[in-house]
Amino acid sequence: MATEFPSTHWKDYELLDSGGGMKLERFGSYVLSRPEPKALWDKDMSDGQWESATHTRFTPGAGFGKAGKEDSGTWDRIRKMPDQWWIRYRDFFSLRLGLTSFKHVGVFPEQAPNWEYIFSQTKVIAEKTTSRPKVLNLFAYTGAASLAARKAGADVTHLDSVRQVVTWAHENQDRSGLDGIRWVVEDAMKFARREARRGNVYQGIILDPPAYGHGPDGEKWKLDECLFDLMKDVGRILAPQDSFMVLNLYSNGFSASLGETVVRQALGLSPDYSLDSGELALRDGFGKVLPLSIFVRLKR
């Protein structure tokens, strides 16, 4: 198992410091201070240095982070900056960022190694076949992984249960000079099961499920209860050869070993079948490592 970090060649993102339950990040020209429960250590910069570097600071509402719930909060401007702005991920694609009421800004920077993996694996498969690889991105949010697959030449289906973030992802596609992504607003489990019934298969499947969520028609999603069944459905629609799968999990109770076991059992893999798994993390300007999610990758 490995720990992977975003490339230092990504100039539009930097974790400046972390600690005291907070992280100080630069996105393009703007510096944001946000809560980060996993930053259990002390800051290296002084409070004054944080304050002077920060453009805006997120203040959470009561109950933030408890029992998987995030209450809305507010962004307190310290220096002038817009509500929305754009950054570039290397020469791959552009991403619109925005100050949402749940501290998120439209991108999870630690996911950059997954974007690189998706791009490279899609490229490999595209070079082997005469038709474009089909890639399905479930729980796709604002679409960075979808853009990586599309940039590499895939026919991409981008699915999320929230129409507003699908619209946001569409903006990212257009700004990146890409086109042709199929946009779907639907419950992930319903979609995967329907695709299995229809006999449709994909050369790439990407999953980044939340701990809790709801589908567009009120369908309830709870990671602990639904993940294994979803992975069994994924196994039915993943091509048996020349294919890949990426599973990313943010839940604090999940380890890479647990993720591997879920994937092995759901897809019927033998114990000696090689999987790639580990942590995605950020390293701040003082060398402190902030692990944020775990990944499991399957390559056939």
The predicted-structure confidence for 177-194, as pLDDT tens digits, reads as follows: 999 999 999 999 999 999
Q: Which two tokens stand for residue 156?
A: 């991409």
As a whole number of angstroms, the distance between CA 140 and CA 188 comes to: 10
* Amino acid, single-letter form, for residue 265: Q
pLDDT for 267 equals 96
Q: Which residue(s) pair with 69 in the sheet?
A: 66
Q: Kindly report the pTM of this predicted structure.
A: 0.93
Residue 69 has pLDDT above 70, yes or no: no
Query: Hey, what's the torsion of the CAs at 55, 35, 254, 213, to 10 degrees?
Result: -80
For domain 109-299, which architecture applies? 3-Layer(aba) Sandwich (3.40)
pLDDT for 249 equals 96
Residue 67 has pLDDT above 50, yes or no: no
Question: At the fourth CATH level, which superfamily is domain 2-98?
Answer: Golgi alpha-mannosidase II (2.60.40.1180)
The count of other CB atoms within 10 Å of the CB of residue 228 is 14
Residue range 70-102, pLDDT digits in tens: 568 999 999 999 999 999 999 999 999 999 988
Rounded to an integer, the average pLDDT of 48-71 is: 76
Q: Report phi then psi at 205, rounded to 5.
A: -130, 130
pLDDT band at 47 (very low <50, low <70, confident <90, very high): very high
Contact 57, 71 (CB under 8 A): no
Q: Which two tokens stand for residue 18?
A: 């972390």
Half-sphere exposure in the Cβ direction for 190 (13 Å, CA): 15
Domains 2-98 and 109-299 share a fold: no
| Nearest CA-CA partner of 273 in 300, 255, 242 | 300
Q: Report phi then psi at 253, rounded to 5.
A: -85, 0
- Least confident range from 54-63, 72-81, 97-106, 196-205: namely 54-63
pLDDT for 60 equals 87
As a whole number of angstroms, the distance between CA 142 and CA 108 comes to: 10
Ranges of H-type helices in the chain:
47-53, 112-128, 144-151, 163-175, 188-198, 223-237, 256-267
Q: Which residue(s) pair with 157 in the sheet?
A: 136, 182
Distances in Å between the alpha carbon of 295 and those of 113, 226, 260?
A: 10, 17, 9
Residue range 2-34, pLDDT digits in tens: 999 999 899 999 999 999 999 999 999 999 999
Residue range 126-172, pLDDT digits in tens: 998 888 999 999 999 999 999 999 999 999 999 999 999 999 999 99
pLDDT for 70 equals 56
Task: Report which listed range, 111-125, 202-216, 220-234, is most confident.
Answer: 111-125
- Would you kindly state where each structural domain of the chain is located, as residue ranges? 2-98, 109-299
Q: Which two tokens stand for residue 61?
A: 């509402």
Residue range 219-267, pLDDT digits in tens: 787 888 999 999 999 999 999 999 999 999 997 788 999 999 999 999 9
* Amino acid, single-letter form, for residue 58: F
As a whole number of angstroms, the distance between CA 95 and CA 241 comes to: 32
Q: Which residue(s) pair with 213 in the sheet?
A: 221
Rg (CA), the chain: 19
pLDDT for 63 equals 53
